[in-house]
Amino acid sequence: MRLSLSLIFFASALPFPASGQSSPAPAKADVVQYHAAIDNVKYVFGVAPPVAHLKPGNILEATSLDCFGNALQKPGDTMALVKGDNPLTGPFYIDGAEPGDTLAIRILDLQVDGKQGVGTFSPGFGAVNSTHYTPVLETKPLPERIWFYPIDKEKNTTTFQALDSDFQVSFPLHPFLGCIGVAPANGEARSSIVPAEFGGNMDAPEVSAGNTLYLPVNVSGALFYFGDGHAAMGDGEVAGSAVEVPMRARFQFELVKGKHAGWPRFENEKEIMAAGVYRPVDDAVRIAVTELIHWIHADYGLSELDAYELLSKVARIHLTEMVDPNYVVVASVEKQYLPPKKH
């Protein structure tokens, strides 16, 4: 048995001007720098001693290892070399953040930190094979496989090379972070493979430069973590991996005091975006869409039924991944279709 969770819906404030992809950080912000290594990463979103403190307005420049701890480097390497999934950089303590606040994370820049990415298939994990949470009887599991993806930063592309034929093809980079989150609520600690209300392994391409992510603050200091860089990824991350890469990241933090969102939210100059992070996909959609309706109602003043109707005409719904322990859907609407924001 449990009681109802009470949510205080939050009227977004976008505490700095919403930014486009190229907007520079404020000139005088203090910058904290941090370098991830295999002996300082974490594997859990939870309470742990902070690796650094930042004040609201400060900028963080930090690196992350790839989701395999950079262990897969060349043909012949196998999963057995991987010491843990999704090593996280952090946690970073945001001074002044208290439960009930919202942490706004402005993603200023993401750069692939290396010359190659990795893709893997592991039996038991994926959207359309027998898995831990959707098991089926089978005569023999599919085999483990590893693909390497050279990164061409000049052309802004990476290249798929088939393993069972000689086909290869290049496609554009879209760098983003698979993992980004804070310490969960209710004293929980969650594996870095899990996405949920606190963010986590959302595998959302929306976690890219130019977007701001809002997360609920659940513990003093919020305790910010990130990792699992992706150079590019298809919708749903169906076979279970993106083009997995180490990353160099630049963030700026701000606090919205006394306001608390139930679920992660994104914003940029053009769109507002609400995430639903649960299973099945149907429920992730229900969460994302009701959150977006509540957001429009609270901040832009449409009635809930008018907002519902408008979304039925112009909403976008993005299935970011259907392979992790929870699934992630982002529902969004362009600001040009909304009334002016309420003060």
Contact positions with a copy of itself (CB under 8 A) in 98-137: 119-130, 132-137
For a copy of itself, the binding residues in 59-98 under the rule CB under 8 A are 67, 79, 82, 85-86
CA distance linking residue 85 with residue 102, whole number of Å: 28
Decide if residue 262 touches a copy of itself (CB under 8 A).
yes
Q: Which two tokens stand for residue 64?
A: 């992350």
Query: 232 near 118, Cβ under 8 Å?
Result: no
Of 41, 217, 289, 328, the one binding a copy of itself by CB under 8 A:
289
Of 109, 228, 271, 299, the one binding a copy of itself by CB under 8 A:
228
The residues, any chain, with a CB within 8 Å of residue 234's CB and separated by 6 or more, are: none
* Residue 91, preceding peptide bond in cis (omega within 30° of 0): yes
Is the Cα torsion angle 265, 266, 269, 271 positive or negative in sign?
negative
CA distance linking residue 229 with residue 232, whole number of Å: 9
Identify which of residues 30 and 138 has a Cβ nearer to a copy of itself in the complex. 138
Decide if residue 342 touches a copy of itself (CB under 8 A).
no
Mark residues 197-226: x for contact with a copy of itself by CB under 8 A, - for none.
Answer: ----x-x-----------------------
- DSSP collapsed to 3 states, 202-227: CCCCCCCCCCEEEEECCCCCCCEEEE
Of 93, 116, 324, 328, the one binding a copy of itself by CB under 8 A:
324
Residue holding tokens 């039925």?
A: 312
Decide if residue 188 touches a copy of itself (CB under 8 A).
yes
Of 26, 53, 155, 235, the one binding a copy of itself by CB under 8 A:
235
Decide if residue 23 touches a copy of itself (CB under 8 A).
no
**Residue type (1 letter), 296:** I
**Residue type (1 letter), 86:** N
Instruction: Please count the other Cβ atoms lying within 10 Å of the Cβ belonging to residue 75.
Output: 9
CA distance linking residue 213 with residue 200, whole number of Å: 12
Identify which of residues 154 and 164 has a Cβ nearer to a copy of itself in the complex. 164
Write down the least CB distance from residue 33 to a copy of itself, Å: 26
* Number of residues near a copy of itself (by CB under 8 A): 114
Decide if residue 22 touches a copy of itself (CB under 8 A).
no
Q: What DSSP character marks residue 122?
A: -
Which of these ranges, 16-24, 26-34, 103-111, 187-195, lies near a copy of itself under the rule CB under 8 A?
Answer: 187-195
Decide if residue 52 touches a copy of itself (CB under 8 A).
no
Decide if residue 281 touches a copy of itself (CB under 8 A).
yes
